[in-house]
Amino acid sequence: MQPAYEIPQFSVSDKPAQDLDVDLLVVPVVQDDRAAMQIFDEATGGELSMAHERGAFTGKPCELWFTQAGDRWRTRPLVMIGVGPQSELNVERVRRMAACAGMSARQQRRGRLAFCLPASWTNESWIEAIAEGATFANFDNGNYKSRNEGRYFISSVLVNGVAGEALGAALERGRRIGEATNAARVLVNEPGNSLPPRELAARASALAAVPHITSEILDEKQIETLGMGLLLGVARGSAEPPRVLVLRYEPPGAPASPVLGLVGKGITFDTGGLSIKPADGMERMKDDMAGGATVVAALRAIALEQVPLRVIAVVPCTENMPGGRATRPGDILRGASGLTVEVNNTDAEGRLILGDGLWYARQLGATHLIDVATLTGAVIVALGKTTTGLFATEGWGEVIRDAANRCGEKIWPLPIFDEYKEQLKSDIADMVNSPGRPAGSITAALFLKEFTGGLPWAHLDIAGTAWADEAHAWAPKGATGAMVRTLIEVARTAGTGWPVSK
């Protein structure tokens, strides 16, 4: 099989732009600041100004204008790329610019790029975003096609026009995040038949095989010994045994506390079980392990960046299938925490496996919890495909939200008022798993909260954001890698501003 992505080489070059030897010069253009770009206006014989005047190129985000630099330039192919007005410029605009440029360079089969930046772009997080964007762009999910239909990858990226000692390190961080995110996207795109629970656990464990992470994969016997009846209840309908992937990142010298506990949903395929889903769109349910892939990819980048914080990741992995031994609607399961659940809908399986996963992260010493899951269709009704739903205890939710804002990922809080808990009541067990249509994402979150033991906890519902139904100029269809960056950014704050944990 062909690789789904390649990692370009990144470097900073302080040569004059005229002397760069690459295949394509990429020139970001701020919509209302053409003065900064005067040298490229001259290089192209005034083409930029003319295009502006005719309205042929205005500098809107991701707008492209291909042209040639004059014959005194070592590299002549040149693309202007809009980044919108100065007042709207932010790290996400910069990341998308780099990704758009990278995708169109690949289409033109130009492998060596130079980003010719305005001298004022010395902000490290922007330089990091350029490396991330270019790495995201170097992803092609046609890896199962048996004929190489013109797949082409970028080989190198130069950053030019800016100076600063820390820029090389910023490029390196961005490259690592891009690489971890692409690795997560590969797992999420992987079909259910090639990624059963054992395979997910093994491949995610391999992804986390970096210094100071130890990895353990619990098999069905160990899962049973721990009493994880909720996970086992979901796994019953499948011929494939469940697994729990446990990763511990223990950097030398990190304080004993806090310990960040990341829990990711690892349903390798969600048929709905006996409460089976309609056929239309069921194929997308191969992405139901996106939360698991997200936490593992983030942990890999956190460890490679040597963030001085202890982190535990727990990924319960199973299929949700309607086999002959499957859990029936109405069955009662008992989880490892001791809580009993009346399963009134076998399609609400994510919260079941996460209940045992959250409990286990707590057992292992987590002081602050974050779970990531493609949990509910209802979050798509509430927030659409662009914004991740955030459900969190006070103080901790703000830490997550600030981190997401800093790295340009869209997230929005929804309430978890106790009043909604009414819907979780069961006549015969502690809770039902499917509390009906109203506030479906909120009641799912409240179900999870029962397993968090009062620790600071945040739940990220990525059902809308994990998967793009449409290709964009900056990203292909399919897995998006949503929330990888936010988790890394939370870890980078390493305890500062975190709420106290009991």
Smaller CB distance to Zn ion: residue 80 or 482? 482
Residues sharing a CB contact under 8 Å with residue 263, sequence separation 6 or more, in sequence order:
295, 313, 314, 315, 354, 357, 358, 361, 369, 370, 371, 372
Smaller CB distance to ligand BES: residue 18 or 345? 345
Q: How far is the CB of 337 from ligand BES (least distance, A)?
A: 20
277 catalytic, yes or no?
yes
When asked if residue 489 is in the footprint of ligand BES (CB under 6 A), the reply is: no
**Partner touching 171 among ligand BES, Zn ion, Mn ion, none, CB below 5 to 8 Å by kind:** none
Taking CB under 5 A as the criterion, which residues in 345-384 touch Zn ion? 350
Over the window 240 to 279, marking each residue x when it contacts ligand BES by CB under 6 A and - when it does not, the resulting string is ------------------------------x---------
Among residues 175, 351, 449, 485, the one annotated as catalytic is 351
The dihedral sign for the CA sequence 378, 384, 388, 391: negative
CB-count exposure of residue 88 (10 Å: 0-12, 13-18, 19+): exposed
Stretch touching ligand BES by CB under 6 A, among 5-13, 131-139, 153-161, 341-349: 341-349
**Partner touching 218 among Zn ion, Mn ion, ligand BES, none, CB below 5 to 8 Å by kind:** none
351 catalytic, yes or no?
yes
- Considering only the C-alpha atoms of the chain, give the largest distance between any 2 of them, rounded to a whole number of Å: 81
- The b/e string for 143-162 (b: 16+ C-beta within 10 A; e otherwise) is eeeeeeeeebbbeebbbbbb
When asked if residue 288 is in the footprint of Zn ion (CB under 5 A), the reply is: yes
Note whether 298 and 487 are within 8 A (CB).
yes
Residues sharing a CB contact under 8 Å with residue 46, sequence separation 6 or more, in sequence order:
none
Stretch touching Zn ion by CB under 5 A, among 77-85, 152-160, 169-177, 344-352: 344-352
Smaller CB distance to ligand BES: residue 374 or 486? 374
When asked if residue 378 is in the footprint of ligand BES (CB under 6 A), the reply is: yes
Q: How far is the CB of 378 from Mn ion (least distance, A)?
A: 12
Long-range contacts of 42-45 (CB under 8 A, 24+ apart): 43/17, 43/18, 43/69, 43/70, 43/73, 43/78, 44/68, 44/69, 44/70, 44/78, 45/70
Note whether 159 and 171 are within 8 A (CB).
yes
Number of neighbouring beta carbons within 10 Å of residue 64: 14
Over the window 258 to 277, marking each residue x when it contacts Mn ion by CB under 5 A and - when it does not, the resulting string is ------------x-------
How many residues touch Zn ion under the rule CB under 5 A: the total is 4
According to DSSP H, which parts of 305-437 are helical?
A: 350-363, 378-383, 396-406
Note whether 302 and 394 are within 8 A (CB).
no
β 64-68/77-82 pair status: antiparallel
Stretch touching ligand BES by CB under 6 A, among 120-128, 210-218, 234-242, 340-348: 340-348
How many residues touch ligand BES under the rule CB under 6 A: the total is 15
Among residues 74, 76, 151, 277, the one annotated as catalytic is 277
According to DSSP H, which parts of 407-480 are helical?
A: 440-449
When asked if residue 434 is in the footprint of ligand BES (CB under 6 A), the reply is: yes
Over the window 259 to 278, marking each residue x when it contacts Zn ion by CB under 5 A and - when it does not, the resulting string is --------x--x--------
Note whether 372 and 468 are within 8 A (CB).
no
Stretch touching ligand BES by CB under 6 A, among 107-115, 294-302, 346-354, 448-456: 346-354
Stretch touching ligand BES by CB under 6 A, among 39-47, 249-257, 371-379, 450-458: 371-379
Q: How far is the CB of 381 from Mn ion (least distance, A)?
A: 15
When asked if residue 190 is in the footprint of Mn ion (CB under 5 A), the reply is: no
**Which phi and psi angles does 436 have, rounded to 5°?**
90, 175
**Partner touching 179 among ligand BES, Zn ion, Mn ion, none, CB below 5 to 8 Å by kind:** none
If we measure between CA atoms, which residue out of 294, 301, 304 comes closest to residue 211?
A: 304
How many residues touch Mn ion under the rule CB under 5 A: the total is 3
When asked if residue 347 is in the footprint of Mn ion (CB under 5 A), the reply is: yes
Over the window 444 to 473, marking each residue x when it contacts ligand BES by CB under 6 A and - when it does not, the resulting string is -------------------x----------
DSSP letters spanning 100-156: HHHHHHHHTT--EEEEE--TT---HHHHHHHHHHHHHHTB-S-TT-SS--S-----E
Number of neighbouring beta carbons within 10 Å of residue 127: 28
Q: Which residues bind Mn ion (CB under 5 A)?
A: 270, 347, 349
Q: Which residues bind ligand BES (CB under 6 A)?
A: 270, 288, 345, 347-350, 374-378, 434, 440, 463
Mind telling me the catalytic residues? Answer: 277, 351
